[in-house]
Amino acid sequence: MEAKYAIAIFCIGSVVLALGYHHEVALAAIVALFSAIVLAIDKWKYLKEYVIAVIVGGSCENLSVALGGWSYANSNFLFAPLWLPLGWGFSFVLFEDAFGGAVPVKFSWWAVLLAIGGAAAAAFFAPNELLVLALFVTATIVLFYSGFYKKEEFKLGLYAAALGTIMETISILMGNWEYSAAVLETPLWLPLCWFNAFLIMRRIVQI
């Protein structure tokens, strides 16, 4: 899928999330439909990656909410809304299809530990926004310096950081969710969270 189409679909999905969060089950069905359309466009070649991203992203998100890092306005079944895990799968497939194909990576158990640890740390230290920002800055530098991230992935991370932060900011302003501490409503560390989440998830889905 060309990047411009992926960005357009992601933007449409962001608006749907911001406007439809009052109806949790219906929104989950809509996100599932969007996901099926995106997967079908590429003849379901990303189905495995989608399922893994749903499981891992949804688990980490529920962990963070359970630890008090942020909260959703309408979540009636789990800590996070039903549509949230599907949204992780949907977002990952769009980003990977549009931006990540030219930079292949291999599976790493370290990525699984980083995903869980990062979700827990972001939530646990969420009341101290600057500390979380410092942790993400440090982790990003170390992961590039150590070779865990490829330098060619820097631009991929920037795409995820920009699109993810814009999407979240729209939903935050519309009241879909809120963070426990954020000077500007959107946490200063959020772009780096998306940056790392995408690059880490790229390694997890290769299992």
- Predicted confidence (pLDDT) per residue in 136-188, tens digit: 999 999 999 999 999 999 999 999 999 999 999 999 999 999 998 888 889 99
* Distance separating alpha carbons of residues 138 and 77, to the nearest angstrom: 35
- Minimal CA–CA distance to 171: which of 61, 73, 44, 43? 73
Q: How much is the pTM?
A: 0.93
- Whether the pLDDT of residue 1 is over 90: the answer is no
* Distance separating alpha carbons of residues 64 and 119, to the nearest angstrom: 6
Give the domain ranges of the chain. 3-204
According to DSSP, residue 104 is labeled -
φ and ψ of 162, to 5 deg: -70, -50
Q: Residues 109-127: pLDDT tens digits?
A: 999 999 999 999 999 999 9
Tokens 């699109």 belong to 163
